[in-house]
A and B are shown apart, each in its own frame.
Chain A
Amino acid sequence: MKPYIAILIDSFWEAVGNRVLWALLIGWTLILAGLAPFGYITERSFQLTSSDVSSSSDIFEKLAKGIKGRETDQIQAVAQQLDERFKQRLIDSQDPAEDGKNVRPSEIAKQLNQVLKAPALYSAEVFPLRSERRRERLEPLIAAGVANLAAPELEELNRELIQEAFKVELHRPRGQQLWIGYGSLKIGDALPISRRQIREFLEPMLLATIIKLGLGVLAVFVAIIVTSPMIPDTFRSGSLHLLLSKPISRVWLYLAKFFGSCIFVLLNITFVLIGLYFIAGLRFEIWNAGLITCIPLLMFVFIIFYSVSALVGLLWGNAIVCVVSCMIFWLFCFALGAVHDTMLRDMDIEPQIRRIRTAGDEVLAVNEQGHLSVWNQDYSVWQPVVDPESRGQATTFGPIYDQSHEQIIFKSFRRDPFRLTARARNITLVRPGAKRATETAIEDEQEDTPEAAKESPDSIGPADDAAADDVIRSAKDARNNPRWMADSGPELPAQVFDVLEMKGALIAICRGGLFYLDFDKLKITQQAKTGLFGIKIPWLVSQGFENIAPPEFFISENTTASVTADGESLIVYSSGNIDRLRLTEGKFTVEASATLSDDSDGTEAAEIRANENYCVVARNGLPLTILDQDLARVATMALPKDAKVRQLASIPGTEDFAIVTHTGELLRVDCASKSIQPIQVAYSGLCTSMDWVDQDQVWLGVQPNRGYLLNLATNRVEQQLVPTATLWEKIFRYGVKPIYLVNPKPSALDNAMAYILSGERTQALNVITNDLESAQMELDIWQPIITNLCFVVVVLGLGCIYVARKEF
């Protein structure tokens, strides 16, 4: 091998002697030097930032009322401590609700920060501190005497008092504030997310993007341009004949020259990634060895392109043709990848059933877009229940089937990384059984005030839905036309996390508390008939949800809840705190409380389920926690193969729970034996959701959008809902997918990169995972490596055959 090592060594010196290499290294050094000062700045601070202000208009309105003595004592106390000019502005405000809309969160934060310094804010009468947790925290400060407090302690006390005044409108104080800094300079406001969340986002997304775009695309193409003449130059007659006269193999000469040329790229990539490794480690405390592991992966990306360049260089002997060929190859791969990824999202991910329920005889499914569909047996398709409102990574509450009134209750919100948005906050009501009555009511409205009815946001269904069945003559019609008429229900309270069914009522879990609405208040036809000035308004806010949370019951920005299997209690998980509440006499009372004290910072997306004896908490990136009925920790268990929980459910009639993982497995959590075992089903690896009918029967949502009713005792499929594929789905399944499978796909190596950087087999489609149920993309690591490797072997093989047979 000595001669071939000589070629490799010579290629190294060739790379070192290349001015472009030095220019690039200087460029990379400058970029790294520019990036190096970025980092976290953490300070213990109770100063408010605009991201702490949830609703600036509400705060302005309340302060304006408070200054005039028309709000709670606490708000009045806060208002009194405001800056004089701002107080005057509040006094002058004639219409605080309207004026509040023009107030920016940053302005409110600035004004409230003035209050933080006010020693006169606290008084025991105004702030009795009924919340036990808050009282525990503040007692030492109050005991020391407000006058004796140092500035930071006073800020802490006042921040908690302000929070007491504006429980919902302000996010809870974090104490530790986090900024992105450049050197010692803070960039912008404190971040609304935790360090853990940044890390979750930084590693797989930001680092992967820097590596993918900076190195995977830019550096690789610069490298292709630089290295493209190396093979044509070597195989040019002047130098080639001399090389061929030496006692070496032509094939090995070609391969040695090929891999020797890669040294140039290796030097560049190694330099940048080691630089990034140290910057991420020293500045962001992310010592991710995966960055170093990315070196061979990026080399592999380069090798894929360079194998094409080298073959073309052999055939044409021209560096420009090499570069152009590489570009064309890249464009082809990019186009195929883009088509595949877009179609994969549209055909495989977004149609996935994230919730499957039965409502009477109907089977309902909510997909990843938040659309509620009903199974149409005639055409074997999922038919929209109503006109879809949200799209893409939506969160849907329900569907809840109100059996007594035969109506379906649900609501979809569009989800962005930090909040939920929808056209209107009103819940949606559908009455499959009472279709005619509803249609009649709406038709009456249209006859009375056609314009008003048309413009009314409360009516979600199309005006001509009455004849919906008549227009459905094909599967296509069924896919595109909603099945039923929908009505708008009462408005959901602000900042809602979940809506659950409990004892014949809806429970909305919100930042502001636990809101209750009895099913009896959801009779559409009765409410629709009550009108105001002749115009029928189905719902008035006053008739909506009622807060029945215990006094001072605190709900953080990260909350999830579940009703126990017996339907008697509500379990609320809120940033690491768990409460078991019982509904008695129209109010919730706390039965038990616990805090999960582990390495969590309370910001992880979570799911919680409970039965009579156990409660299971699944948190993103943390092992499963099992608690007993008193919320004492029983066990902590990691899922097999580092799988992540997608859906958690209690198995009826047992003490066990079931889990659907993001890798599509169905698992059983045996709380008694503290073990997790896979449930053997035919669709293992493809499951997306579940709904247990009894301990043996389960409805499974299966990729891409199939539904199966399985009997686990007999191991039989009792019902299968397999929708007819559309033309585009057929094109994707039988055309694009197979072509993509066998084609080289350098960009798919991102999967391996993301896996190396995050260590997780699935990747959330959102920047921050704030919903465990959202579909995650399974990182297909080996398949792209194998196909790309095959491609490189084939292309290099062709080059070797050409070199061996060619008479130069």
Chain B
Amino acid sequence: MTDAPAIDVQQVRKDYKDGWLVRKRFSALNGVDLTVRRGEVFGLLGPNGAGKTTLIKILLGIVRSSSGKAFLLGDRAGSKLARRKIGYLPENLNFPAHHTARRSLAFYGRLSGVPETTIKQRGDELLEMVGLLGRDRELVRKYSKGMRQRLGLAQAMLHEPELLILDEPTDGLDPVGRSEIRRIISTLKDQGKTVFLNSHILQEVELVCDRVAILAGGALRGVGTPSELTSQFHGALTAKLRIELSGGADAVEQLRSRVSCELLPLPDSRWQFSSAAESQADVDRLIDTIRSLQLSIHRLERTRLTLEEVFLSAVQSSDPISSAN
């Protein structure tokens, strides 16, 4: 089973029922297939209500799937064996009010079955790693949100899990805090750990994740590296050429009639021209046309697709853009 993927989700479906009298049924996950390879940092993206949290809860065994199967490191998701191998940082983590950082680490370490000596030894290392070593005897309730997140990360790493599931680890953190978390994730990756990251912050995901999955409406919309995703989306989305130009009104009208484009007036008799340009040939042809009409080109920009645009497009689209994996 050592070759088993870190996360293997097969046709997982989750239906919820709601209402007191009339029980309405709705699907949070609709037959999701997903594989996360060992040692990679994997990002899960999706809007609110996409089913991300449900998927994580299924992986942790907090909720049961209606159908399908999920495995963590070869063991059935939710089983004690699987849970022993994972570290989890929940969103909106609350520590008991009477805990200090050290007592918290000891408590969660004992729950994970870590020996006392290891707790002490690893505790020191981790507290230093997350920058809490000097403040480890303070009550956690006095900590800032960033400190609590770092402590949460420390407890997730205490038993040296093979897989870490981090739910919004940088949520509410300042740029320095986010950078710190990114550094820790990179360190984990270097140590060969698998990190499954659920985040709203697309830039973060783009920066740290090896691969990304987009989940919307309970279904996967795309899976791959950020560049794979953007390139895959090239087929579905139109790249644009944006040109700032000036010239006579007749010439501009002629351009509008020859080329399918958008023309927005700018100050100083200038216009902003926007048109689809799928390939370099399209760009060359457009520039030739503009120049042939004696229009001057002041600025030229060829827009490139971002992960955010891919994400938004994927979320708005009803069909999957590419096959997962």
Chain A residues engaging chain B, CB cutoff 8 angstroms:
2-3, 5-7, 10, 13-14, 16-18, 233, 236-239, 241-248, 807-808
Tell me which residues across on chain B come within 8 A of A2, comparing CB atoms: 110, 113
> B residues 77-127 with Cβ under 8 Å of A?
80-81, 83-84, 86, 88, 90, 92-98, 103, 107-108, 110-113
Asked whether, in the complex, the Cβ of B94 is within 8 Å of the Cβ of A238, the reply is yes
Tell me which residues across on chain B come within 8 A of A6, comparing CB atoms: 107, 110-111
Using known A-B contacts A14-B96, A17-B98, determine if residue A241 contacts B60 with beta carbons closer than 8 Å: yes
Asked whether, in the complex, the Cβ of B108 is within 8 Å of the Cβ of A239, the reply is no
B74 located at the interface, meaning its Cβ lies under 8 Å from any Cβ of chain A in the complex = no
6 pairs of A and B residues whose beta carbons are closest in the complex:
A238-B94, A6-B110, A17-B98, A245-B88, A807-B63, A246-B111
Using known A-B contacts A244-B62, A245-B88, A808-B62, determine if residue A238 contacts B111 with beta carbons closer than 8 Å: no
A805 closest partner in B (C-beta): B64
Tell me which residues across on chain B come within 8 A of A233, comparing CB atoms: 96
Tell which of B81, B84, B111 touches A243, judged by Cβ atoms closer than 8 Å. B111
B63 closest partner in A (C-beta): A807
Tell me which residues across on chain A come within 8 A of B155, comparing CB atoms: 242
Tell me which residues across on chain B come within 8 A of A236, comparing CB atoms: 94
Asked whether, in the complex, the Cβ of A13 is within 8 Å of the Cβ of B98, the reply is yes
Tell me which residues across on chain A come within 8 A of B98, comparing CB atoms: 13-14, 16-18
14 A-B pairs (CB sep. < 8 Å): A5-B110, A6-B110, A10-B96, A17-B98, A236-B94, A242-B108, A242-B152, A242-B155, A243-B111, A245-B62, A245-B86, A246-B108, A248-B80, A807-B64
B161 closest partner in A (C-beta): A245
In the complex, what's the smallest C-beta–C-beta distance from B71 to chain A, in angstroms? 16
Asked whether, in the complex, the Cβ of B112 is within 8 Å of the Cβ of A247, the reply is yes
Interface centre among A3, A238, A243, A247 (most CB of B within 10 A): A247
Apart from the given pairs A233-B96, A247-B113, 4 other A-B contacts in the complex at a CB distance below 8 Å = A6-B111, A239-B93, A245-B83, A808-B57
In the complex, what's the smallest C-beta–C-beta distance from A533 to chain B, in angstroms? 88
Asked whether, in the complex, the Cβ of A245 is within 8 Å of the Cβ of B60, the reply is yes
In the complex, what's the smallest C-beta–C-beta distance from A345 to chain B, in angstroms? 46
Q: How far is the CA of A13 from the CA of B90 in the complex (A)?
A: 24
Using known A-B contacts A244-B60, A246-B83, determine if residue A238 contacts B92 with beta carbons closer than 8 Å: yes
B247 located at the interface, meaning its Cβ lies under 8 Å from any Cβ of chain A in the complex = no
A237 closest partner in B (C-beta): B92
Q: How far is the CA of A95 from the CA of B33 in the complex (A)?
A: 112
Q: How far is the CA of A245 from the CA of B77 in the complex (A)?
A: 11
Tell me which residues across on chain A come within 8 A of B111, comparing CB atoms: 3, 6-7, 243, 246-248
Tell me which residues across on chain A come within 8 A of B97, comparing CB atoms: 17
Q: How far is the CA of A2 from the CA of B116 in the complex (A)?
A: 11
B54 closest partner in A (C-beta): A807
B61 located at the interface, meaning its Cβ lies under 8 Å from any Cβ of chain A in the complex = yes
Asked whether, in the complex, the Cβ of A246 is within 8 Å of the Cβ of B112, the reply is yes
Q: How far is the CA of A248 from the CA of B60 in the complex (A)?
A: 12
> B residues 138-172 with Cβ under 8 Å of A?
152, 155, 165
Q: How far is the CA of A16 from the CA of B96 in the complex (A)?
A: 13
Tell me which residues across on chain A come within 8 A of B90, comparing CB atoms: 237-238, 241-242, 245
Asked whether, in the complex, the Cβ of B83 is within 8 Å of the Cβ of A239, the reply is no
In the complex, what's the smallest C-beta–C-beta distance from A427 to chain B, in angstroms? 73
In the complex, what's the smallest C-beta–C-beta distance from A608 to chain B, in angstroms? 65
In the complex, what's the smallest C-beta–C-beta distance from A346 to chain B, in angstroms? 45
Using known A-B contacts A246-B112, A247-B112, A247-B113, determine if residue A239 contacts B60 with beta carbons closer than 8 Å: no
B88 closest partner in A (C-beta): A245
Q: How far is the CA of A16 from the CA of B97 in the complex (A)?
A: 12
B79 closest partner in A (C-beta): A247
In the complex, what's the smallest C-beta–C-beta distance from B198 to chain A, in angstroms? 12
A15 closest partner in B (C-beta): B98
A236 closest partner in B (C-beta): B94
Interface centre among A14, A239, A242 (most CB of B within 10 A): A242
In the complex, what's the smallest C-beta–C-beta distance from B86 to chain A, in angstroms? 7
Q: How far is the CA of A238 from the CA of B112 in the complex (A)?
A: 18
A233 closest partner in B (C-beta): B96
Asked whether, in the complex, the Cβ of B88 is within 8 Å of the Cβ of A242, the reply is yes
Tell me which residues across on chain B come within 8 A of A16, comparing CB atoms: 98
In the complex, what's the smallest C-beta–C-beta distance from B28 to chain A, in angstroms? 11
B89 closest partner in A (C-beta): A242
In the complex, what's the smallest C-beta–C-beta distance from A15 to chain B, in angstroms? 9
Q: How far is the CA of A247 from the CA of B60 in the complex (A)?
A: 10
Q: How far is the CA of A241 from the CA of B113 in the complex (A)?
A: 17
Interface centre among B95, B113, B152 (most CB of A within 10 A): B113
Interface centre among A233, A236, A237 (most CB of B within 10 A): A237
Tell me which residues across on chain A come within 8 A of B61, comparing CB atoms: 244
> B residues 31-70 with Cβ under 8 Å of A?
57, 60-64
Using known A-B contacts A245-B60, A247-B83, determine if residue A239 contacts B113 with beta carbons closer than 8 Å: no
Q: How far is the CA of A196 from the CA of B61 in the complex (A)?
A: 65
Q: How far is the CA of A16 from the CA of B81 in the complex (A)?
A: 34
Q: How far is the CA of A16 from the CA of B98 in the complex (A)?
A: 9
Q: How far is the CA of A239 from the CA of B93 in the complex (A)?
A: 6
In the complex, what's the smallest C-beta–C-beta distance from A669 to chain B, in angstroms? 64
Tell me which residues across on chain B come within 8 A of A17, comparing CB atoms: 97-98
In the complex, what's the smallest C-beta–C-beta distance from B210 to chain A, in angstroms? 23
Tell me which residues across on chain A come within 8 A of B93, comparing CB atoms: 238-239, 242
Using known A-B contacts A244-B60, A245-B88, determine if residue A239 contacts B95 with beta carbons closer than 8 Å: yes
Tell me which residues across on chain B come within 8 A of A18, comparing CB atoms: 98
Tell me which residues across on chain B come within 8 A of A247, comparing CB atoms: 80-81, 83-84, 111-113
In the complex, what's the smallest C-beta–C-beta distance from A239 to chain B, in angstroms? 5
Tell me which residues across on chain B come within 8 A of A246, comparing CB atoms: 83, 108, 111-112
A241 closest partner in B (C-beta): B90
Q: How far is the CA of A498 from the CA of B61 in the complex (A)?
A: 79
Tell me which residues across on chain A come within 8 A of B92, comparing CB atoms: 237-238
In the complex, what's the smallest C-beta–C-beta distance from A364 to chain B, in angstroms? 66
In the complex, what's the smallest C-beta–C-beta distance from B175 to chain A, in angstroms? 25
Tell me which residues across on chain A come within 8 A of B103, comparing CB atoms: 10, 13
Tell me which residues across on chain B come within 8 A of A14, comparing CB atoms: 96, 98
B85 closest partner in A (C-beta): A247
Q: How far is the CA of A233 from the CA of B60 in the complex (A)?
A: 20
Using known A-B contacts A6-B110, A6-B111, A807-B62, determine if residue A239 contacts B88 with beta carbons closer than 8 Å: no
Interface centre among A244, A245, A247 (most CB of B within 10 A): A245
Q: How far is the CA of A498 from the CA of B11 in the complex (A)?
A: 92
Q: How far is the CA of A246 from the CA of B64 in the complex (A)?
A: 16
Tell me which residues across on chain A come within 8 A of B84, comparing CB atoms: 247
Tell which of B81, B107, B112 touches A10, judged by Cβ atoms closer than 8 Å. B107
Tell which of B57, B96, B112 touches A239, judged by Cβ atoms closer than 8 Å. B96
B82 closest partner in A (C-beta): A247
Q: How far is the CA of A241 from the CA of B54 in the complex (A)?
A: 12
Tell me which residues across on chain A come within 8 A of B63, comparing CB atoms: 807-808
Tell me which residues across on chain B come within 8 A of A238, comparing CB atoms: 90, 92-94
In the complex, what's the smallest C-beta–C-beta distance from B249 to chain A, in angstroms? 63
Q: How far is the CA of A242 from the CA of B64 in the complex (A)?
A: 17
Q: How far is the CA of A243 from the CA of B94 in the complex (A)?
A: 11
Q: How far is the CA of A457 from the CA of B206 in the complex (A)?
A: 106
Using known A-B contacts A14-B96, A236-B94, A247-B113, determine if residue A241 contacts B62 with beta carbons closer than 8 Å: yes
Q: How far is the CA of A6 from the CA of B106 in the complex (A)?
A: 9
Q: How far is the CA of A18 from the CA of B96 in the complex (A)?
A: 12
A230 closest partner in B (C-beta): B96
Q: How far is the CA of A744 from the CA of B93 in the complex (A)?
A: 39
In the complex, what's the smallest C-beta–C-beta distance from B157 to chain A, in angstroms? 13
A248 closest partner in B (C-beta): B111
Q: How far is the CA of A239 from the CA of B104 in the complex (A)?
A: 12
Q: How far is the CA of A6 from the CA of B83 in the complex (A)?
A: 18
Interface centre among A2, A10, A237, A246 (most CB of B within 10 A): A246
In the complex, what's the smallest C-beta–C-beta distance from B107 to chain A, in angstroms? 5
A17 closest partner in B (C-beta): B98
In the complex, what's the smallest C-beta–C-beta distance from A23 to chain B, in angstroms? 16
Q: Mark B287-324, 1 if CB is under 8 A from A, else 0.
A: 00000000000000000000000000000000000000
Tell me which residues across on chain A come within 8 A of B107, comparing CB atoms: 6, 10
B87 closest partner in A (C-beta): A245
In the complex, what's the smallest C-beta–C-beta distance from A468 to chain B, in angstroms? 65
